[in-house]
Each structure stands twice: as C-alpha cells, then as structure tokens.
A and B are shown apart, each in its own frame.
Chain A
Amino acid sequence: MISQELLEILACPKCHTKVEFKEPDQLRCPNCKVLYPIVDGIPVMLIEEAKPDQDQ
C-alpha cells in the first residue's frame, strides 16, 4: 500500500497525467492507458516498465 499523499502527487513519467491506484498493486495512467507496478510497496515509475492496461 502506498500513502494517500504519495498517490496525490504521482504522475505518469511519460505524459505527467496523474495516475490512479488500481487494485491490487498497480498505478494506471488514464492518458497513456498503461500500468506501473508497485513492488514491495515501492511504485516503479519507469517508462520502460509500464505494461499496457488490458482492461482498456
């Protein structure tokens, strides 16, 4: 789990749109339609580690 304050400032490193928390452990960019993983509580905010959001 990541803190609410961190979630409020985290943005996509590619387009700088705010990311949304997606259960159980991902952060979704609504603009790029990609997911950034949270690994052991640490968001992995690297463009090359983003995965396409299959729900889109």
Chain B
Amino acid sequence: MPDDVRSRFAPVAANYTRSSFHASSERLQEVLDLARPKPGDLALDVATGTGNTAFALAPHVRRVIGLDLTPEMLEQARRLTAERGIKNADWMLGDVADLPFADDTFDLYTVRAAPHHFADVEAFLNEAFRVLKPGRDAAFIDCSPPAAAREVLHEVELRRDPSHVRALTVDEWAGHFERAGFEMEGAALRELDWDYDEWMRNMAVDPALAEELAGVIEAATGDALVQLHPERREGRLRHAYWHCLIRAHKPG
C-alpha cells in the first residue's frame, strides 16, 4: 500500500504546494482553530505531504515534525523550509501505522486530508494515541461525505487516485477514535464548494478521464444528487464536498 501512495504522489508533489485547498489561508486557519497550538508545543503532523499544515503550525509552536511516506513531497517541504527561513520544522519519511517515536512524545498531533488513504485505520489511530502525551489533543481533518454521496464519490476518488481507500462518516470516525482510547472533544462536518477541475489537476488526471468522472457526479440521483448538487459555472463543474473536523483528547 505505501508503494501505491508513493507512486501516485511523487509525480504531482509540486501541485500540492500551491493547491487552493491544501495551501489556502482559510483552510489553514481552520486547522489552527481546531488544533489550538501553544508556543511550547512539540507537534507532529503526519501525512504532511509538502508540509502545508506543518508550516501553518510552525509559527505557533516550539517545533513541528512533518512525516510523510513520499520523498518527493518532503523534498518540496524542505525546499520551502529553506526559502522561508523556517528554523523549527523537521521532516522525515515514516509510516503513520509505525511511528518512529517513543510513547508520550508529542503535545499535539495533526493530520489533514489524508486518512482516507490509510489501509489500517486502527493502527493509525493507535499510533496517534501512543505518541501523544497524556492530557494532550489530536486534530484531525479528512474528507467525509454523507453516505449517499459517498457511494458516488468513492468511484470517482478511486479512479482519480487508486491510493484512495475509503472515506468514513463522522460517526464512523468517532467510533474508531473511541476504540483507540480517545475522548471526543468535538466533531463537525463542513460542506465545501468544490472546484472539481482543480481537484483533478492536483492528481494530474487525464482530461478524458476527468470528463468521464465529472459525468459520474452529474449523473447522481436521489439523495446523492441532493447532497452533491453539481452545477456548471462558466463550464466548470462545482459540487459539494465534505470534511469532518475532529478534536480528540488523550485522557491523562
């Protein structure tokens, strides 16, 4: 599975440093509002990709570690670290299911827009729990469509990016968090006005396939159509997309 993720993200790494979702100030503020970093924190951002979330955290914490599976993504992060003169960010290759840290190491754990790639959700959350200090929090954002829309988007996501595994609903995530030992501090669902074309471009999807998959979304029926409400604005497809925002606490 890790090789699959790598082979998908290596060729498109630069796209993620400027994506209007992944690098937008509004979306990054959302992470800060959820994570509430503190000046003394040692923070871990997993599946950091090109480091967008870690860079947002850096000015607000003592030190941030960005971990990812794909060397090409981290090369972008390292280039930006040097360009921006950031001194308190470090990068490493690692797997969310086997984190290279002792127990109770971090004051803050973040992950954004990545867990839908993770094959072993249980191992991912058990590791998050393990490396967090007792009494500290994890901030978690991932795509999380309602059930009917998920059935449509699942096909689109898989064909856009075969390293997609499955998006979970907020309730499903809440169950996983609790089984890992976390206390849920808050779980919210946010509907976004999604720029379909850019989403496809981030993954360098072939235009013919992108058009075919746009047709899949526009052909949704019933609840899925109501939820997705696709429309063309100046020829560009827009539709709903959802993120869940979860803050979870390690008791202690």
Contact = CB atoms under 8 A, between A and B. Distances in A.
A39 B93 CA distance: 10
In this complex, the interface size class of chain B, counting residues with CB under 8 Å from chain A, is 20 to 34
Contacts of A14: 98
Contact of A2 (B90, B99, B102): B90
B102 A9 contact: yes
Interface string B63-104: 101010101001100100000000000111111001111110
A36 B103 CA distance: 20
Contacts of A40: 75, 78
A53 to B, nearest CB: 16
Interface residues of A, number: 25
A16 B102 contact: yes
Contacts of B2: 46
A43 to B, nearest CB: 4
A29 to B, nearest CB: 10
Interface of B: 2, 42, 63, 65, 67, 69, 71, 74-75, 78, 90-95, 98-103, 105
